[in-house]
């Protein structure tokens, strides 16, 4: 049978009402569906969402999961809740007014002419090095570090990590590096690396191969998102490290994948981003997405205790969990997995709401 036989008749059938994320149809679908989590690969689907209405409900559920990572609106950013942060004229972040005041107060040099490292412009934005006296990123990094060290001692920058993150402009240029703990206080972009570890399986018996995704369950002792579902591996990208090298390192540390195997097989494929409130600051994350195909015999091992177990789930089932069992997955994994499901042809162009979902993955 050709694949087309199971396609929805039309992309745009009878959808006149405004898309409502908590709409009636979704509630209906929730009731109709067995919501118990069934983590074995056997328990799976002839997905009931392969018709117009349930495909719409699936996409709506996926979209809602994406939106839950994007509670910061354009209005929030242009309101007086946040002040734009510029470095030598380039926009890099959003700071709370009280933190802006602290930057201006403590960002004063001992120089004879009293040049202020951080200053407030007439337009009310906070500028670092407004006169561009520190031409290189190294110089900027050094003088900012002095200011931040002082602010750390005054407990104005809590949770010190002793790890450097790059400060990147909206156009993608690296201005300087700063202590990781200041990233969300500055509202700068922070970069991470996520790996979809997957298996192409023919075990289902029919001619079409199934994509199975390795899903971890986070340790119940983790401070962040304990017990939630997670990727094969993921981690923050420190300043100066290439994303692919970071991906290989994390795969070894978190899932026991041999470095040589990852080096030869991990593949750069995409990028997603989101913008959410975190302790009243703006957390802006950019996640580099990688795919790693694994053999059916390979079983990942939790190495560093971040994850307590791994399970192999059909990608359709993973999409159902994201769409219809909100709160199961660590929130930001959702964007990377939806992007994967789109590239693998599981969430398709024929589904209503598809283009809006694709766009929503990048803020």
* For a second copy, the closer CB: 32 or 259: 259
Smallest distance from a second copy to CB 206, Å: 13
* For a second copy, the closer CB: 82 or 288: 288
Smallest distance from a second copy to CB 363, Å: 8
* For a second copy, the closer CB: 164 or 228: 164
What sections of the chain are H helices per DSSP? 24-32, 52-67, 74-78, 97-106, 137-153, 183-186, 243-255, 259-265, 315-324, 333-343, 354-360
Can you say whether the dihedral through the CA atoms of 321, 322, 324, 329 is positive or negative?
positive
Smallest distance from a second copy to CB 120, Å: 22
Maximum CA pair distance of the chain?
Answer: 81
Tokens standing for residue 363 = 């803020």
Tokens standing for residue 145 = 């570090």
Strand duo 118-120 + 126-128: pairing = antiparallel
Smallest distance from a second copy to CB 51, Å: 12
* For a second copy, the closer CB: 83 or 86: 86
**Phi, psi (5° rounding) for residue 127?**
-115, 135
Smallest distance from a second copy to CB 172, Å: 4
Smallest distance from a second copy to CB 52, Å: 10
Nearest to 179 by CA among 156, 209, 148, 212: 148
Strand duo 210-218 + 189-201: pairing = antiparallel
Contact 69, 335 (CB under 8 A): yes
Cα-based distances in Å from 332 to 84, 299, 337, 357: 25, 24, 9, 15
Smallest distance from a second copy to CB 323, Å: 16
Helix (H, G, I), strand (E, B) or coil at 323: helix
Smallest distance from a second copy to CB 295, Å: 17
* For a second copy, the closer CB: 104 or 286: 286
d(CA 119, CA 104): 5
* For a second copy, the closer CB: 154 or 242: 242
**Phi, psi (5° rounding) for residue 305?**
80, 0
Ramachandran assignment for 305, one of left (phi > 0), alpha (psi -120 to 50 degrees), beta (any other): left
Buried b or exposed e, range 220-255, using 16+ CB within 10 angstroms: eebeeeeebbbbbbbbbbebeeebbebbbbbbbebb
* For a second copy, the closer CB: 96 or 140: 140
Smallest distance from a second copy to CB 280, Å: 25
d(CA 138, CA 176): 7
* For a second copy, the closer CB: 168 or 199: 168
d(CA 285, CA 183): 10
* For a second copy, the closer CB: 6 or 203: 6
Judged by the rule CB under 8 A, the positions of this chain that interact with a second copy are 2-4, 7-19, 89-90, 135-137, 166, 168-175, 191, 193, 237, 239-245, 248, 260, 263-264, 267-271, 273, 286, 288-290, 342-343, 345, 348-350, 352-356, 358-359, 362
């Amino acid at each position: 049978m050709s694949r087309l036989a199971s396609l929805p008749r039309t992309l745009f059938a009878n959808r006149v009402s405004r898309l409502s994320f908590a709409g009636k149809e979704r509630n209906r679908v929730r009731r109709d569906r067995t919501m118990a989590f069934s983590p074995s690969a056997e328990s799976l689907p002839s997905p009931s969402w392969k018709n117009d209405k349930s495909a719409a409900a699936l996409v709506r559920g996926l979209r809602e999961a994406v939106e839950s990572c994007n509670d910061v609106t354009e209005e929030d950013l242009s309101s007086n809740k946040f002040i734009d942060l510029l470095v030598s004229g380039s926009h890099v972040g959003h700071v709370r007014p009280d933190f802006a005041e602290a930057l201006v107060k403590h960002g004063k040099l001992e120089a004879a002419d009293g040049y202020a490292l951080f200053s407030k412009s007439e337009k009310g934005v906070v500028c670092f090095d407004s006169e561009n006296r520190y031409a290189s990123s190294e110089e900027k990094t050094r003088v900012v570090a002095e200011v931040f060290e002082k602010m750390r001692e005054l407990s104005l920058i809590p949770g010190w990590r002793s790890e450097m993150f790059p400060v990147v402009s909206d156009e993608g240029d690296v201005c300087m590096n700063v202590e990781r703990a200041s990233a969300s206080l500055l509202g700068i972009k922070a970069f991470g690396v996520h790996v979809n570890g997957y298996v192409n399986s023919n075990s289902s018996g029919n001619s079409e191969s199934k994509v199975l995704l390795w899903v971890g369950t986070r340790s119940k002792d983790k401070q962040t998102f304990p017990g939630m579902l997670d990727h094969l591996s993921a981690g923050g990208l420190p300043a100066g490290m290439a994303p692919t090298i970071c991906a290989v390192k994390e795969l070894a540390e978190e899932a026991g994948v041999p470095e040589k195997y990852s080096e030869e097989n991990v593949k750069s494929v995409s990028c997603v981003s989101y913008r959410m409130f975190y302790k009243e600051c703006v957390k802006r994350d950019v996640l580099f997405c990688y795919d790693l195909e694994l053999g059916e015999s390979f079983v990942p091992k939790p190495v560093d205790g971040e994850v307590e177990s791994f399970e192999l789930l059909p990608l359709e089932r993973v999409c159902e969990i994201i769409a219809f069992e909100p709160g199961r997955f660590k929130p930001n994994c959702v964007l990377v997995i939806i992007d994967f499901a789109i590239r693998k042809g599981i969430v398709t162009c024929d589904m209503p709401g598809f283009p809006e979902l694709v766009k929503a993955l990048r803020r």
